[in-house]
Amino acid sequence: MASTDAPPLDANRYRQDFPILSSVLHGDQPLVYLDNAATTQRPRCVIEKIVEVYERQYANVHRGIHWLSDQSTDLFEEAREKTRRFINAPLREEVIFTTGATGAINLVARSWGDANLQAGDEILVTEMEHHSNLVPWHQLAERSGCRVKFIPITDEGRLDLEQLPALLTEKTKLVAFTAVSNVLGTINPVVEIVEQAHQAGALALVDAAQSAPHGRNDVQAWNADFVAFSGHKMLAPSGVGILYGRASLLDAMPPFLGGGSMIHRVTMDGFEPAELPAKFEAGTPPIVSAIGLGAAIDYLEDIGVDNIHHYAQMLTQQAHDVLEEVGGVRFFGPPPAEKAGIVSFTLEGIHAHDVAQILDQYGVAIRAGHHCAMPLHKRLGVAASNRASFYFYNTPEEIDALADGLRAAKRVFRR
Amino acid sequence: MSSRKEEEIYQEHVLDHFEDPYHRGELEHRTHVHQGDNPLCGDQICVQLKIDADQRVQEAWFTGDGCCISLASASMLMQALEGKTVDEVRAFTAEEMLELYQARLTPNRQKCCLLSWRVSQAALFSPVQDGVDSGNREPVGGEQSGPHLGEES
């Protein structure tokens, strides 16, 4: 253990709230779920909320002149308000329900991007982006003729921000970057990057998919123009995500998807878009998933987002320590204190998929591959890596199980 | 923990092929060559064949990098291909490849096992023309080569 301080929370207490965590695999192996950066598990309170809504409070939202629709609408809007408080957004209409972080970023690329970008303009991203904050900009570049440029990373897995002033020009219209790398675990200095983007006259979009589950995500402290994240990485159902956008920007942007809800009036000749947030929520939204997100936020705030962050960092430090003892482990990214619950590594002489396959036989679930970050893996000089990612319900014993599984992999491959 | 469970996938004969592969390297007088990859895991295999005038595979070699399953299965396949006629290679099915591998594989890992098979099928249609290897544009590395990002994903 890296620290003699008492852990900031009792993981075993919270494990009781997650039915899936008591699973036993392959006959006799307890599930050790270390793939939380891909998606987290659901606590019973979220599952029960979903059941409760479907059994007693479900109808379409913002439509019916009937009791059930009012119930559903109230719960849906309550979830929006909980989300607004969670990210400290100034206004409720700045919180748009999307299908996920990917849906949110694509919304910005299609709506704001198509309306504002042209040939010669530049979008600045980073070498550590997930494909979801990269491909939409490549697509925008194809449509508009703008150019995508990259903030490089250092060999230690941090953003090389010394390069930033030179990369920011009057052509730069947007800096789109992740708050936490989904591979390296690196916690990026969001405030500093947003400030530099603004000084150069560019907007800033923060991909908060990995940071939203871990600690504070204060959009006003960040001073970000757009923030995107997903519910399923923070205990909520899949299929719902959030786009936060500054109201003045969202107001000026054309609608993205057309359909029901997003209109004020439709005539034979055209339409007038609705006010925010409905303007960007065409069609029936992910009603129950959004309400589930509200329940997940209640649960996370009850534990305390700072406690969660500190606990995950403690596990990260422990993972570095015990994996170091295994031998032959190459870590990616900065030291544990600069990571948010993510440890990526390779095991010398054994392909990532073979490592994950053997760990699976011991009930240990990790991710192996390029984790939707192929350019980053090219930069790291490996085709694939292993990633263990932790949450507040993981225990030190589970990290030991990971290390035991790696020793087993070494035995199998006689390394 | 016992090592009993891994043996289902990483059986002794699989590990033998992985550690001491058959015909892993460049084939000098190749007549057919093709390279393919599995972008999901970064595995890439280049199959090099020498097909004689009787339309028979005289020699089969492979280069590339990947997981244990993709490399061991490539080694097994090279052994199996030699001596076969082109028609026999063409008739060699994916199911037969999985049988050749023997160890039981989950659907995702079957893709690893079938990589060299897929490349070998394409190699039959990729003759080396005037000394130009149409299927071997990229450098094919050894153990420490970097990723080769495919265009398939």
* pLDDT (mean) for A192-212: 98
The Cα A284–Cα A287 span in angstroms is 8
Residue A372 appears among annotated catalytic residues? yes
Q: Is A400 at the interface with chain B, CB within 8 A?
A: no
Q: Is pLDDT larger for residue B35 or for residue B135? A: B35
- Domain end residue (candidates: A251, A276, A302): A302
Q: Residue B43: inside a domain, yes or no?
A: yes
| CATH value at residue A86 | 3.40.640.10
Nearest CA in chain A to B19: A413
Query: Which residue from A351, A357, A383 is facing B147, i.e. has the nearest CB?
Result: A383
Q: What pLDDT, on a 0 to 100 scale, did the predictor assign at position B145?
A: 33
Q: Quick one: A240 and A341 in the same domain?
A: no
Q: Is the pLDDT of residue A3 over 70?
A: no
Q: Residue B136: inside a domain, yes or no?
A: no
Lowest mean pLDDT among A175-189, B5-19, B96-110: B5-19
Q: Residue A373: inside a domain, yes or no?
A: yes
Q: Is the pLDDT of residue A34 over 90?
A: yes
- Domain end residue (candidates: A268, A302, A336): A302
Residues of A in contact with B3 (CB under 8 A): 408, 411-412
Q: Widest CA span of chain A, in angstroms?
A: 73
Q: Is A383 at the interface with chain B, CB within 8 A?
A: yes
- B41·A351 Cβ contact <8 A: yes
By the 10 Å C-beta count (0-12 exposed, 13-18 middle, 19+ buried), B30 is classed as buried
- A411·B66 Cβ contact <8 A: no
Query: Which residue from B1, B43, B112 is facing A408, i.e. has the nearest CB?
Result: B1
- A383·B1 Cβ contact <8 A: no
Task: Classify A99 as helix, strand or coil.
Answer: coil
- A408·B109 Cβ contact <8 A: no
Q: Quick one: A157 and A274 in the same domain?
A: yes
Reading across the β-sheet that carries A241-245, which strands appear in turn? Answer: A95-98, A241-245, A226-230, A203-207, A172-178, A122-126, A147-151
Question: pLDDT by residue (tens digit) across A290-300?
Answer: 999 999 999 99
Q: Residue B140: inside a domain, yes or no?
A: no
Q: Is A338 at the interface with chain B, CB within 8 A?
A: no
Radius of gyration of chain B (CA): 15
Radius of gyration of chain A (CA): 22
How many A-B residue pairs are in contact by the CB < 8 A criterion? 73
Beta bridge partners of residue A243, listed in sequence order:
A96, A228
Residues of B in contact with A411 (CB under 8 A): 3
- A351·B5 Cβ contact <8 A: no
Provide the angle, in degrees to the nearest 10, between the axes of the packed helices A352-361 and B107-123.
Answer: 150
Q: Which of B11, B13, B67 is best to mutate for the A interface (most A CBs within 10 A)? A: B67
Q: Quick one: A253 and A317 in the same domain?
A: no
The residue segments making up the domain with residue A373 are 11-30+304-412
Count of domains observed in chain A: 2
Q: Residue B135: inside a domain, yes or no?
A: no
Helices (H), A128-267: 135-144, 164-167, 190-199, 219-222, 247-252
Q: What pLDDT, on a 0 to 100 scale, did the predictor assign at position B131?
A: 55
Instruction: List C-alpha distances in Å: A357 to A110, A388, A401, B108.
Output: 39, 14, 15, 11
* pLDDT (mean) for A69-81: 97
Q: Quick one: A269 and A314 in the same domain?
A: no
Q: Residue B81: inside a domain, yes or no?
A: yes
Single-letter residue type at B88: E
Among B89, B107, B90, which residue's Cα sits nearest to residue B98?
B107
How would residue A6 be classed by pLDDT, with cut points 50, 70 and 90? confident
The residue segments making up the domain with residue B95 are 6-123
Q: Quick one: A149 and A257 in the same domain?
A: yes
Q: Quick one: A21 and A137 in the same domain?
A: no
Contact A241, A103 (CB under 8 A): yes
Q: What pLDDT, on a 0 to 100 scale, did the predictor assign at position B150?
A: 32
Q: Quick one: A195 and A250 in the same domain?
A: yes
Cα angle A22-A24-A25, degrees, rounded to a multiple of 5: 140
Provide the angle, in degrees to the nearest 10, between the axes of the packed helices B107-123 and B68-81.
Answer: 40
Q: Residue A6: inside a domain, yes or no?
A: no
The alpha carbon of residue A408 is apart from the nearest alpha carbon of chain B, in Å, by 7
Q: Is B1 at the interface with chain A, CB within 8 A?
A: yes
Query: Which residue from A351, A369, A381 is facing B40, i.e. has the nearest CB?
Result: A369
Contact A114, A253 (CB under 8 A): no
Residues of B in contact with A383 (CB under 8 A): 41-43, 65, 146-148
Residues of B in contact with A370 (CB under 8 A): 40-42, 147
Q: Which of A26, A183, A412, A414 is best to mutate for the B interface (most B CBs within 10 A)? A: A412
Q: Quick one: A246 and A117 in the same domain?
A: yes
Contact A126, A150 (CB under 8 A): yes
Q: Residue A223: inside a domain, yes or no?
A: yes
Q: Is B2 at the interface with chain A, CB within 8 A?
A: no
Question: pLDDT by residue (tens digit) across B48-84?
Answer: 999 999 999 999 999 999 999 999 999 999 999 999 9
Written as one string, the DSSP assignment of A23-83 is: -EETTTEE-EE-BTTT-----HHHHHHHHHIIIII---SS--SSHHHHHHHHHHHHHHHHH
Contact A194, A223 (CB under 8 A): yes
Residues of B in contact with A361 (CB under 8 A): 5-6
- A354·B10 Cβ contact <8 A: yes
Q: Is A379 at the interface with chain B, CB within 8 A?
A: no
The alpha carbon of residue B67 is apart from the nearest alpha carbon of chain A, in Å, by 5
The Cα A405–Cα A396 span in angstroms is 14
* pLDDT (mean) for A130-154: 98
As a whole-number percent, the residues of chain A with pLDDT over 90 amount to: 95
Q: Is B10 at the interface with chain A, CB within 8 A?
A: yes
Among A335, A337, A343, A338, which residue's Cα sits nearest to residue A319?
A343
Q: What is the mean pLDDT of chain A?
A: 96
Reading across the β-sheet that carries B57-65, which strands appear in turn? Answer: B32-38, B43-51, B57-65
Q: What is the 3-state secondary structure of chain B?
A: CCCCCHHHCCCHHHHHHHHCCCCECCCCCCCEEEEEEECCCCEEEEEEEEECCCCEEEEEEEEEECCHHHHHHHHHHHHHHCCCEHHHHHHCCHHHHHHHHCCCCCHHHHHHHHHHHHHHHHHCCCECECCECCCCCCCCCCCCCCCCCCCCC
Q: Token pair of A346, please?
A: 């390779």
Q: Quick one: A192 and A265 in the same domain?
A: yes
- B153·A374 Cβ contact <8 A: yes
* pLDDT (mean) for A325-336: 97
- A383·B68 Cβ contact <8 A: no
Q: Residue A57: inside a domain, yes or no?
A: yes
Which 8-state DSSP code applies to residue A173? E
The Cα A37–Cα A35 span in angstroms is 6
Q: Which of A319, A372, A380, A388 is catalytic?
A: A372
Q: Quick one: A337 and A408 in the same domain?
A: yes
Neighbours of A24 (CB within 10 A): 10
The alpha carbon of residue A120 is apart from the nearest alpha carbon of chain B, in Å, by 27
Q: Tokens 């490089």 — which residue? A: A152
* pLDDT (mean) for B17-25: 96
Q: Quick one: A322 and A273 in the same domain?
A: no
Count of domains observed in chain B: 1
Q: Quick one: A278 and A391 in the same domain?
A: no
Asked if ipTM goes beyond 0.95, one says no
| CATH value at residue B91 | 3.90.1010.10
- A412·B153 Cβ contact <8 A: no
| CATH value at residue A15 | 3.90.1150.10
Written as one string, the DSSP assignment of A274-335 is: PPTTGGG--SS--HHHHHHHHHHHHHHHHH-HHHHHHHHHHHHHHHHHHHHHHSSEEEESS-
Q: Token pair of A307, please?
A: 């406690």
The Cα B69–Cα B83 span in angstroms is 24
Lowest mean pLDDT among A187-191, A205-209, A234-238, A379-383: A379-383
Contact A243, A109 (CB under 8 A): no
Residues of B in contact with A408 (CB under 8 A): 1, 3, 6
Nearest CA in chain A to B16: A413
The Cα A185–Cα A188 span in angstroms is 9
